[in-house]
Structure 1
Amino acid sequence: MSGSRRLVEKYMNNSKFVRSGESEPAFLNCSNTEEAWKLGLYYLVDSLLLAGESTKKTDLDILSYVENEDEFFQFLWGHESFDKTMVGLKKDIDHYRKQYLKLVAEKKKPAEYKYIVYGFSIALQYWAYETVSILGTDYVITLV
């Protein structure tokens, strides 16, 4: 995909990078309808499909991608989103558990451990919601 850096120059002060949390104000404060649409597409991809920590740098190339809507909508965002989500799912959760248990055994205050999945995590949440309701009837005993 190729495109100009016009939106980066105009709305992101021609920055080399922008953090995820900084893309929303550009979208909300845009008064030009066509440019708001393009910034909205960027915001959608950045904050939903390829979501990450709000302090992480975002891919400003996406802003140049939205300049050519045909190419933008042909791009395989699902693959990008899936790959990012899988990175989060492949983390070694057992490693975090062992670290936590070691600190508890040493009677030290355990650090807060988080297991965060980035990418299109809403799809994962939806899948879990649907799956739990189905599996729950087969594997959960009602005590009431």
Structure 2
Amino acid sequence: MTQQPEEHAAPVDETRADAQAHLGPPPNDLNLFALLRLLRSAGRALLAQTALHGQLARVEWAEERNRLLQMLLATLFGFACGLTLLLLCSTLVLVLSWATPYRIPALLGLLLVHGLGCAAAWYRFRLLAARSSASFAATREELAADLALLKSRL
């Protein structure tokens, strides 16, 4: 009796093996192999493109760092001019209480110069701050184009 179940088991196993041989690999394996072939054939191009993206990011980071440094310098200059403006306004109040004819026009001139310096620094800071939305724009565009290309190929 033990031989009979073994005889029935052999044809069933052969039928499964024949069915798997005719069907080929499962669909997931096929997609994986196609993806591996694609990556192998495009490997050098992907590495070159990645290197180009790295170079572009470095260039844009240098530009962004320069913009931030200019913003810092404009802020420091504006702060120095504002502080000086406050000190000169205080000095003007003291001078107006004195009765000297030449100190008032000189202090008004200095107030005007430092006030214009503060206004120029504020104007420059606002211009630099407005350009922040353009930071790394080329890198973002290139990455989006490459991702779109990769999605269209897959």
Normalised to the residue count of structure 1, the TM-score between the two structures is 0.27
**Whose helix fraction is larger, Structure 1's or Structure 2's?**
2
Bigger radius of gyration, 1 or 2?
2
Question: RCO greater where, 1 or 2, for CA within 8 Å and sep 6 or more?
Answer: 2
